[in-house]
Amino acid sequence: MELLKCLICGGKIEIQEGGLGECTACGAGYSLESMKEIVSGTKVSITGTSEDVMQWKSLMKTYMESFDYDAATDIVKKILGASPTDEYTNEIYKQLQDLKFLDIRNGILHRYTGSASEIVIPIGVIRIEGYQMTPNWRTGAFYGCKSIKSIKLPETLIEIGKEAFSGCENLQKINIPESVTTISKLAFTGCSSLRQIKLPSKLIEISEGAFYESGLSEIILPEQLKRIAGSAFAKCENLKKVDMELLNV
């Protein structure tokens, strides 16, 4: 029985009622036929049946949702070893090349250390916070990232934190999903290439200096907005038009 080791995580496979096997570590299931192949040594870990690929994809999804990108990368390599042309997995592999530079803990994005021009923030991130450089200094997650031109934010995001994109002077395109209610202090200050941005209808607060010295030329403020703090749009030299959506009365 010691030969029955999970091809996904290396854990122990136990025989369940009905003759099926299940890994005690990751929960992957195995048919009687696949367990025979493991015992006989006719299959190596870098290849796999269609059954294996389905299980690996399920585990890959779990790792992606928990932001464990190192583990997800290992599983992706297993899938591509068995099915090199799988389009979905190849796309995930490309995403992982950027995601591994994101420091995400408990749904909070703290820091980005890469140099990509286009970034996709994964589903599950609820807040872009900031990175604690020293006990007395916290800087934005993307502070001063001059390589970034385009960012796609997830629909789970609620808050864009202090200085989140401050100094991203080449940022041209960013979507702010409808779930966002707060844009914090200095969030987009110095984003001089940012010309247009659509504010979400649920936005409640635009904090102090949020778009200070940005390149915005036009902005429409949503009707549910309750607070615009001082200097929110100060020194936006290209800003020619500000509209407020009318409340439905």
Residues 6 or more apart from 190 whose CB is under 8 A from it?
166, 167, 168, 169, 212, 213, 214
**Does the residue 51 lie in any domain?**
no
**Does the residue 120 lie in any domain?**
yes
Give the pLDDT confidence of 19-61 residue by residue, as tens digits.
Answer: 677 888 877 777 776 777 776 654 444 456 777 888 888 889 8
In the block, tokens 């928990």 appear at 66
Give the pLDDT confidence of 193-236 residue by residue, as tens digits.
Answer: 999 898 999 999 999 999 999 999 989 899 889 999 999 999 99
The CA distance from 235 to 197, in Å, is 17
What residue numbers bound the domain in which 160 lies?
102-249
pLDDT value, residue 139: 85
pLDDT value, residue 46: 43
Give the pLDDT confidence of 141-182 residue by residue, as tens digits.
Answer: 999 999 999 999 999 999 999 999 999 999 999 999 999 999
**Does the residue 132 lie in any domain?**
yes
**Does the residue 107 lie in any domain?**
yes
CATH number of the domain where residue 211 is located:
3.80.10.10
**Domains of the chain: total:** 1
| Contact by Cβ (8 Å): 26, 5 | no
Tokens of 154: 């997830």
pTM for the predicted model, two decimal places: 0.72
**Does the residue 230 lie in any domain?**
yes
**43 DSSP 8-state letter:** S
Exposure string for 95-112, b = 16+ CB within 10 A, e = fewer: bbebbeebebeeebbbbb
In the block, tokens 């195995």 appear at 30
Spatial CA neighbour of 242 closest among 199, 205, 202, 203: 199
**Does the residue 83 lie in any domain?**
no
**Does the residue 175 lie in any domain?**
yes
Sign of the CA dihedral with 44 first, then 46, 48, and 53 last: positive
| Percent of the chain topping pLDDT 70 | 87
